[in-house]
Amino acid sequence: MPAAGPDEAVAGRSTEPSPARERQSFVRHELRAPLAVMYPALELLLSGQAGPLTSKQREYLDALERSVRRLDGAIASASATGWFDCAAGPLSCEELDAAALVREYAAARERLGERVPGLSIGAGLPPVWTDRWRLLQVLDALVDNAATHAGPKAAVTLEVAAACAAAVEFTVRDDGPGIASDELASVTEFGYVGERGRGRERPGLGLGLWVAGELVAQMGGEMWLVSGSGGGLAATISLPAAAADLPAR
């Protein structure tokens, strides 16, 4: 896959979408098309415009409406996390300036009206050798996860630091309630929805952190989570630094 610019990778809204994004758009459209019929039909029935409802009929329709909304939320969650196209296409690695990349990433989110993390960029960063599109997709997943679960008033920070000469670490840190220790090992598993997620109106599918972990592994990196004893969560990914003797690309 050709390397995408930051604006494209952050939101998947380029004027010339990649085949991967075209597939995501097609699947999303096909799944949501029936919902476009269900919603107005349900509203018509529940409003009584098609005739009066018995209490039992209203109970059934209310249950059906909740199920339709849950399906709509599940489709949105699957699309946003990249579930439809998690492993599509070969890696397209290149040598990247980590500091410049995260600055461009934050600026792109701001232009799109999305939650913008504070930035903390360490000194002496080596270039990172990775797939730009996949890295930005991972950062999106981690920032969105922090913003969703930590709450709108929580501080969310994206930190970049040189772990050593051979690796660069990207950490998304929030000061929200954190994750219980007995859940911490499970939140990156496929389909896991934690206690906080189940309390939301649209609990999602438990895919965001799992997809992020899969993408990081494809890039030859590692991902781990640390929850503070007093709250807050830090999600860190470590990616290989570009070797000094890599051939020009």
* Residue-by-residue DSSP string for 161-182: EEEETTEEEEEEEE-S----HH
**pLDDT for 33-89, tens place per residue?**
788 888 888 888 888 888 898 988 988 888 888 778 877 776 776 666 555 555 556
Residue among 121, 139, 112 at smallest CA distance from 215 = 139
Domain match, 132 and 204 both: yes
pTM of the model as a whole: 0.64
Q: What is the pLDDT of residue 143?
A: 92
**pLDDT for 166-221, tens place per residue?**
999 999 999 988 887 778 777 777 766 665 554 444 445 567 788 888 889 989 99
Q: If you average pLDDT over residues 86-113, what whole number do you get?
A: 85
Q: Does some domain include residue 178? A: yes
Domain match, 164 and 218 both: yes
Domain match, 78 and 169 both: no
Domain match, 135 and 231 both: yes
Phi then psi dihedrals of residue 224, to 5 deg:
-150, 160
Q: How far apart are CA 120 and CA 149, in angstroms?
A: 21
Q: Does some domain include residue 62? A: yes
CATH of residue 175: 3.30.565.10
Number of folded domains that form the chain: 2
Structural domain range at position 47 = 19-85
Residue among 245, 249, 242 at smallest CA distance from 162 = 242
Q: How far apart are CA 215 and CA 237, in angstroms?
A: 10
Examine the pLDDT at 246 and tell me if it is beyond 50: no
Q: Does some domain include residue 156? A: yes
Q: Does some domain include residue 155? A: yes
**pLDDT for 106-154, tens place per residue?**
998 888 788 889 999 999 999 999 999 889 889 988 998 888 888 888 8
Q: What is the pLDDT of residue 238?
A: 96
Residue where a domain stops, chosen among 64, 85, 106 = 85
Domain match, 140 and 76 both: no
